A and B are shown apart, each in its own frame.
Chain A
Amino acid sequence: MTQIFKPGVKLSSKVCKTQIMVLRIPAIELEIFCGGLPMEVGDPDVLGEIQGENNGTLVGKRYTDETETMEFLCTRGGEGSISVSGHKIDIKAAKKLPSSD
């Protein structure tokens, strides 16, 4: 089921430990998946079966679509991959800044 997501919301995978936080997202109806199943608020009691090919998620990495209209922060890594209906989601390259404090 599609819905409009708000920045700051945390979503959990239904197939693995992956948890993401939405940093940026267009205010349109979307569905966010991990390992083939839709992600939801709150950790599931039982994990479902992972579907399709998955590269997994890494804690601390940012994930974004090709045009960077949406961005997710992985707050807990897992085996499933993130996908959004109609968009290809990939790791965002980190911009390296010197440490300032």
Chain B
Amino acid sequence: MNIYLILQMAAEAMGDREAVKLNNDSITYSELNYMSKSVASLVKNNEKIGFLSENNLLMPAALFGAAIAGVEFVPLNYRLSEEQLNMQLKRISPAILFTDQDIKCKGIKTIGITTLALDNKAELDNYSDDEAVAVELFTSGTTGEPKSAVLKHKNLMAYILGTVEFMSAGAEESVLLSVPPYHIAGIAAVLSSSYSGRKIVQLPNFSAEAWMRLVIKEKITNAFLVPTMLKRIVEKFDDNLSLPSLKNVAYGGGKMPRSVIERAMKLLPHVNFTNAYGLTETSATICMLGPEDHRSAFNSSDALIKRRLSSAGRPIPSIELIIKNDEGNICLPEELGNVWVRGEQVSGEYKGIGSKLDSEGWFPTKDRGFLDSDGYLFIDGRADDVIVRGGENISPGEIEDVVRTHPNVEDVAAVAVKDIEWGEAVGLVIVASSPIEDGEIIKLVRTKLRSSRVPSIIKYMDELPYNETGKLLRRVIRDNFAD
């Protein structure tokens, strides 16, 4: 199985449909197929295809073109420092790199985004059909040196065949894509939109205003957002705005504050919201909290149902999920432990490191969480972020949720700080809307939780460090405390 099958079927069954649009330019599935073959024809010696740019019409063609040529597609983060970028380029060499940046690196042949001739005729009817690697993605590296996760054709195809029905989108449907090409959601969007026949409208530089303008102008029906984006949209939302064309909004890629999703549901009551939980290593979504779950939680007076607005939902039919404690035993409902998943879409493999799957095919996500009695998953945070104070495991999320209830707290992060007595202790960074006394926070934590959760040090910042896709960079905060 090869992901090119997706485009091949789309080009054959709905070749005249618009596939991708950027500003006033668009291409159909037939044209995308042609462009992809042109990209594939550039590959002479099994070079990988790198992509170092914001989203543009060439991106889907580079992804499918690499698949046709039987080489890996490697999208790179265009916001990296020169040093970080050079390190990643060395790791992917030899490669053909689509970019408008001036790159000098041994084994990297650059091709400008604007100069790819569309009349570069290539007839490649026999594409690689094995179980090769389709995509190599550098993980966000919030906890250390970026690893590169490899996703095989069979992983990505299992995800698409397990979650999307071919040509199920109406010809009028379109999805607004504002996540970058190097994010798994940006890759998954190209595959699932092509398979469902839903036009992708690209928004390379996200701003809440540009996003809302484009929804109206292009009569957008679907969108995917990371939590930070939805937060900015609800903050900028004008009460006179209604966005009537918008029907489905999926979100994921980080923890969604409950206040943001509640506000979004109030502002856009006609929109179906879906929380999609997944990791790069699992070929995107493995759990979903669907529109009905959102509405019943939103309207419920039962606290256990209401809190499902903060849930990652339940595993999709093709995924198995279990929670195990540190001793390896299955956790009971409500018991916090490590999240393990299994399924054909799960890769769990890193370049140079190998597979992280256990002998039975289970992948440790390194996320900590618990299931409620109906099987809804609640993600607590990354296992690496747990604060170990005198042998006791403390979740940052638990403390953050409590501190966030203080009216003057806009944002907060709890991290491990070195402590002579306890090994580690709780360090707190707060973004405050107006001044707060440390004593108020300490009292709040002590009353709602217990004394071991009380921060030993509190700092105030103007804003917390997030990466561009909305992930909190706890490592940066920890380093800040260490200084």
A11 CB to closest chain B CB (Å) equals 13
A21 CB–B CB distance under 8 Å:
yes
Are B290 and A98 in touch, CB under 8 angstroms? yes
Are B5 and A98 in touch, CB under 8 angstroms? no
A69 CB–B CB distance under 8 Å:
no
One of A27-35, A45-53, A89-97 contacting the partner = A89-97
Are B250 and A99 in touch, CB under 8 angstroms? yes
Cα distance A76–B278 in the bound complex, in angstroms: 31
A2 CB–B CB distance under 8 Å:
no
Report the contact-size class of chain A (Cβ under 8 Å from the partner): 20 to 34
Say what secondary structure dominates the interface of chain B: mixed
0/1 interface trace, chain A 70-101, chain B, CB 8 Å (1 if under): 00010111000000000000000011111111
Residues of chain A within 8 A (CB-CB) of B284 are 100-101
Residues of chain B within 8 A (CB-CB) of A76 are 9, 12
Cα distance A75–B276 in the bound complex, in angstroms: 28
0/1 interface trace, chain B 217-229, chain A, CB 8 Å (1 if under): 0000010100000
Cα distance A59–B224 in the bound complex, in angstroms: 27
Cα distance A100–B277 in the bound complex, in angstroms: 9
Residues of chain A within 8 A (CB-CB) of B193 are 101
Other than the given A60-B9, A99-B175, A100-B276, 8 more pairs (CB < 8 A) read A21-B5, A59-B13, A59-B167, A60-B13, A60-B165, A98-B274, A98-B290, A101-B276
B248 CB–A CB distance under 8 Å:
yes
A23 CB–B CB distance under 8 Å:
yes
Are B166 and A101 in touch, CB under 8 angstroms? no
A99's contact among B161, B167, B274, by CB below 8 Å, is which? B274
Residues of chain B within 8 A (CB-CB) of A8 are 1, 129
Are A100 and B163 in touch, CB under 8 angstroms? yes
One of B184-192, B389-397, B438-446 contacting the partner = B184-192
B345 CB to closest chain A CB (Å) equals 12
B316 CB–A CB distance under 8 Å:
yes
Residues of chain B within 8 A (CB-CB) of A96 are 165
Shortest Cβ distance from B154 into A: residue? A8
Are A100 and B288 in touch, CB under 8 angstroms? yes
Shortest Cβ distance from B153 into A: residue? A8
Cα distance A100–B162 in the bound complex, in angstroms: 12
B317 CB–A CB distance under 8 Å:
yes
A60's contact among B166, B198, B288, by CB below 8 Å, is which? B166
Cα distance A23–B158 in the bound complex, in angstroms: 10
Are A99 and B12 in touch, CB under 8 angstroms? no
Residues of chain A within 8 A (CB-CB) of B288 are 97-98, 100
Report the contact-size class of chain B (Cβ under 8 Å from the partner): 35 or more
B98 CB to closest chain A CB (Å) equals 22
Measuring CB to CB, which residues of chain A are less than 8 angstroms from any residue of chain B?
A: 7-8, 10, 21, 23, 59-61, 73, 75-77, 94-101
Residues of chain B within 8 A (CB-CB) of A97 are 163-164, 288, 290, 316-317
Are B5 and A101 in touch, CB under 8 angstroms? no
Are B185 and A101 in touch, CB under 8 angstroms? yes
B196 CB–A CB distance under 8 Å:
yes
Residues of chain B within 8 A (CB-CB) of A95 are 317
Q: Which 6 A-B pairs have the closest CB atoms?
A: A60-B166, A100-B276, A100-B285, A101-B188, A98-B274, A101-B189
Cα distance A34–B228 in the bound complex, in angstroms: 51
Residues of chain B within 8 A (CB-CB) of A10 are 129
B152 CB to closest chain A CB (Å) equals 12
Residues of chain B within 8 A (CB-CB) of A77 are 13
A37 CB to closest chain B CB (Å) equals 22
> Are A61 and B188 CB-contacts (below 8 A) given A8-B129, A75-B9, A98-B250?
no
B291 CB to closest chain A CB (Å) equals 6
Residues of chain A within 8 A (CB-CB) of B189 are 101
B252 CB–A CB distance under 8 Å:
yes
> Are A59 and B9 CB-contacts (below 8 A) given A98-B288, A101-B284?
yes
A76 CB to closest chain B CB (Å) equals 6
Cα distance A73–B291 in the bound complex, in angstroms: 29
A75's contact among B5, B164, B278, B285, by CB below 8 Å, is which? B5
Are A75 and B1 in touch, CB under 8 angstroms? no
Shortest Cβ distance from B162 into A: residue? A97
Residues of chain A within 8 A (CB-CB) of B224 are 100-101
B272 CB to closest chain A CB (Å) equals 7
Residues of chain A within 8 A (CB-CB) of B274 are 98-100
Shortest Cβ distance from A59 into B: residue? B13
Residues of chain A within 8 A (CB-CB) of B252 are 100
Cα distance A95–B164 in the bound complex, in angstroms: 9
Shortest Cβ distance from B251 into A: residue? A100
Residues of chain B within 8 A (CB-CB) of A75 are 5, 8-9
